[in-house]
Amino acid sequence: MGCCISRPSVQHDTHHSYGYTQDAESTAAESRQSSPGSESQWQQFPKSPRRAASGSTSWPSPSVRVTEKLQLLTQALQRARRAEISPALVQYGQHIANDLANNVQPNEDTLSLDIDNFPRLAGGYNSRYPGLNLSHMDSPAAFLNALADCSSDISWRAVVRLEDGGKHHFVADVRTRAGEPPSVIVMEAASLYTFVTAYTNLRRQSLQRLGPEPKWAFIGVGAQKSEADCVMFGMNFALAAHHRSSTFDDWHENLHQHGTIADKGNDSGQFMPSPDAMLEFAQINLFHGEQFLPALFYKHSHSKGVVDEVADHQSGIKDKDMSSSRRAQKSESLSERLDAFAVHREGKKPYSASIETSRATKIRTALDKMLYD
């Protein structure tokens, strides 16, 4: 079982984990999501072996863009060591630098470090973006307790452990209103069907704890095809939601007013929840993100097949500029980014390591903030 994977649903997931073998994304119930079989050039991750004692591998070198991100992280680590700042963050950064240098896929150790260092990474973004209000919540109970506080009008975001004792996380974008029930938009980076039992439990707990008044929507993004990147995808989706806050404000208002993210009277298939009896019974309104989410949510997609699926629903999305570098101004389309961050591992076909370099960039940013503040 993968590091980030909970026990898969027996109802919808008949294969072993996601991202490495064919999984629930290829079921009829979630046929809109791209499946491994639909990808002619790129494929899902192979499972990465444990590192050798020497930390070396015989795999090919990473791409030029990945190497560039590695060099920037290495320089930041050198500056941090000289200044003797944040040994824990430096240790985290060195772990990531070693993985990138050796072309090694993130594993359970990486995921644990993502969780442990989340406050250090999120703190810088919360300072930079007032109103982001991003935090990590270690259990569904902690998340539901936070939702119970309706003492003020506020927007906030959280990367939340989906179930006690599990590794997998989702991200939630929340609006609370003083004296009124909150609205919650959950985004699942991988396949919600892989975790349908845990999500059903979450909804049951929310009904018991908060009652039926809070309004929920679930968006399946499908960008993650790995075992250990859920926390990093969650942080990126939280930032993307904040950057697109006017759109999310509209969706929350729609949820609050009439229980769906769609505008009133909008009967287009774009915002139709998945017609699944089990999800309906669990009161999970699942929307398919590839039909309407902005390109920013697919910037770090592992799979070309997923981006092709999004492009089938959103014409021209592959040409959207994804560059956000403040260091070097340049344009880079979603399609170009997939190619630029492609890596080859264990002789398999390429996939994008963009999410891995995003992790490196966030560590570098946090270190430099500590150094120069």
Q: Which one is catalytic: 3, 4, 136, 168? A: 168
> Does residue 168 have an active-site annotation?
yes
What pLDDT is attached to residue 23?
A: 32
The CA-atom distances, in angstroms, between 328 and each of 63, 67, 70, 324 are 18, 16, 16, 9
- State how far the Cα of 282 lies from the Cα of 292, in Å rounded to an integer: 24
- Residues 6+ away with beta carbon under 8 Å from 24: 8, 9, 12, 13, 14, 15, 18, 30, 191, 193, 194, 196
* CA 367 and chain centroid, separation: 22
Output the CA–CA distances (angstroms, integers) from residue 342 to 103, 285, 319, 328, 332, in the order listed.
11, 34, 18, 20, 14
Residue 324: what pLDDT? 65
Is beta strand 342-343 parallel, antiparallel or unpaired with respect to 134-137? unpaired
Rounded distance between C-alpha atoms, residue 86 and residue 71, angstroms: 20
Of the candidates 23, 20, 79, the residue with the CA atom closest to the CA atom of residue 346: 20
Nearest to 90 by CA among 60, 120, 112: 120
> Exactly one of 4, 230, 288, 302 is catalytic; which is it?
230
Q: How far apart are CA 103 and CA 343, in angstroms?
A: 8
Q: Which residues of the chain have pLDDT under 50?
A: 1-3, 5-59
**pLDDT value at residue 340:** 93
So what's the pLDDT on residue 331? 81
The phi, psi pair for 249, rounded to 5°, reads -60, -45
What does each C-alpha distance from 242 to 50, 83, 131, 134, 237 come to in angstroms? 36, 33, 8, 10, 9
Helices (DSSP H) in the chain: which residue ranges? 64-83, 87-101, 108-116, 118-128, 140-147, 196-210, 230-243, 245-258, 277-281, 304-313, 334-340, 354-372
| Annotation marks residue 150 as catalytic | no
For residues 7 and 115, the answer to whether their CB atoms sit within 8 Å is: no
Encoded tokens for 267: 């009967």
DSSP calls for 2-58: -TT--PPPTTT--SSSSSSS--GGGSGGGTTS--GGG-SS--PPPPPPPPPTT----
pTM (two decimals):
0.84
Q: Which two tokens stand for residue 230?
A: 């859920």
| Residue 244 contacts residue 185 (beta carbons within 8 Å) | no
Two tokens, residue 190: 């991988």
Rounded to an integer, what distance in angstroms lies between the CA atom of residue 358 and that of residue 19?
Answer: 19
- Structure token digits, residue 52: 């050798």
Give the residue among 265, 178, 250, 169 at the shortest CA–CA distance from 217: 250
Q: Which amino acid is it at 269?
A: G
Residue corresponding to tokens 């109802």: 11
Is 300 a catalytic site residue? no
- pLDDT at residue 134 in the model: 98
Of 163, 188, 290, 309, which one is the catalytic site residue?
A: 188
For residues 157 and 213, give the distance between their C-alpha atoms in angstroms, rounded to a whole number. 20
